[in-house]
Structure 1
Amino acid sequence: MSLFGKVEADVEIKAPAEKFHELFSRRPHHISNVCPDKIQGCALHEGDWGNEGSVIYWDYVHDGQAKVVKEKIEAIDDTNKLVTLKVIEGDLLQEYKSFKIIVQATPKGEGSLVHWSFEYEKLKEDVLEPKTLLQFAIDASKDIDAHLTA
């Protein structure tokens, strides 16, 4: 069994890809206002909002437990509406040696398609794939969509 893995999911939203990308890449600190049941806080630890190399600290609730994660923005691709984040500290690193989050919003009809991809290396073989975390991202995308189209 490989310790390396990748899980992916798509979610269709009504909001334009540009609006979703703008919120996720440039104003992630607003997301805690959009889905406070999932994300309690988002703070900038280094750099500037919306800039590659910046470090963001999140407080969130996953599987009924309060958790934290610190992520470094590795890439923001405005042309393809894609953001790549690398987990550098937090609860995820208790089970994963490395964890990368890639989110891309692509125009589709009147709305868009949000593609989530988690690339990871487990610390041990018995660590589960992060499928519940992927569902968390899908649910947060739906909350963001409801906010952007309200």
Structure 2
Amino acid sequence: MANLRGKVEAEVELKSPADKFFKIWRSETHKLPTVSSKNVQGLKVHEGDWDQHGAIKIWNYTVDGKSEVFKEKVEFDDDNMSFTLHGTEGHVFDAWKVFKPACKLVPKEQGSVAKLSIEYEKYKASDPNPDKYMAFFIDMTKDIDAHILSARRKKDRGMDVIICEVVLYYA
């Protein structure tokens, strides 16, 4: 009998610091429909609060041009800057009994690495691997990284203006 359990994994090099990236997932997931609008069209809390371990959220998203829904219960590991989304309902369960996306952030001297994974269990051997969902996860990860960098550039530009004003004022 074929093994129906599997795991797809990917690593994404990020220019943003691990703590800033983790913060988006830990306490600012409500921003994802804006940060990655081509992927996530809606996200709401069904039970709990945005930053609460064990909160249940409902996602409206697009994969391969199709609108789908995913209901998950989130598990955070603050010490290791990681999270797991335990799927409970949604379109993914048409092909899989188990669907658990996860991310672990690893700080680097400059930037960080997002180690992404999706654990799954198929109903039957002919069911597909969740490769298109990993592509979605990677794309959303890149969007979050770009958002963090954009916010930092805006903040840096604002500081440049303040510094210039101070220099001109005292000159």
Q: Same fold (TM over 0.5)?
A: yes
Following superposition of structure 1 onto structure 2, how do residues 102-121 of structure 1 map, counting pairs within 5 Å?
102-121=102-121
| Separation in structure 1 between the aligned mates of residue 97 and residue 79 of structure 2, nearest angstrom | 31
Which letter does structure 2 place at the counterpart of 1:52? H
Counterpart position of 2:33: 32
The structure whose residues are more often strand, as a share, is 1
| Separation in structure 2 between the aligned mates of residue 97 and residue 103 of structure 1, nearest angstrom | 20
| Separation in structure 2 between the aligned mates of residue 32 and residue 123 of structure 1, nearest angstrom | 31
- RMSD, aligned α-carbons: 0.8
The count of corresponding residues between Structure 1 and Structure 2 is 149
1:112-140 residue CA offsets vs partner (Å, 9 max, x unmatched): 10011111111111111111111111111
Q: For structure 2, which runs of at least 5 residues remain unmatched after alignment?
A: 151-171
Runs of 4+ with deviation above 2 angstroms: none
Corresponding residue SS for 1:88: strand
Counterpart position of 1:145: 145
The structure whose residues are more often helix, as a share, is 2
| Separation in structure 1 between the aligned mates of residue 40 and residue 101 of structure 2, nearest angstrom | 16
Counterpart position of 2:4: 3
Corresponding residue SS for 1:68: strand
Q: Which has the higher contact order (CA 8 A, sep 6+)?
A: 1
Which letter does structure 2 place at the counterpart of 1:61? T
Counterpart position of 1:87: 87
Counterpart position of 2:45: 44
In the superposition, the TM-score normalised over structure 1's length comes to 0.96
Deviation at 1:109, TM superposition (A): 2.3
1:75-95 residue CA offsets vs partner (Å, 9 max, x unmatched): 211111000110000000111
Which letter does structure 2 place at the counterpart of 1:125? A
| Separation in structure 1 between the aligned mates of residue 95 and residue 55 of structure 2, nearest angstrom | 24
| Separation in structure 2 between the aligned mates of residue 132 and residue 80 of structure 1, nearest angstrom | 27
Which letter does structure 1 place at the counterpart of 2:117? S
| Separation in structure 2 between the aligned mates of residue 13 and residue 80 of structure 1, nearest angstrom | 17
Counterpart position of 1:124: 124
In the superposition, the TM-score normalised over structure 2's length comes to 0.85
Q: For structure 1, which runs of at least 5 residues remain unmatched after alignment?
A: none
Counterpart position of 1:136: 136
Identity over aligned pairs, percent: 41
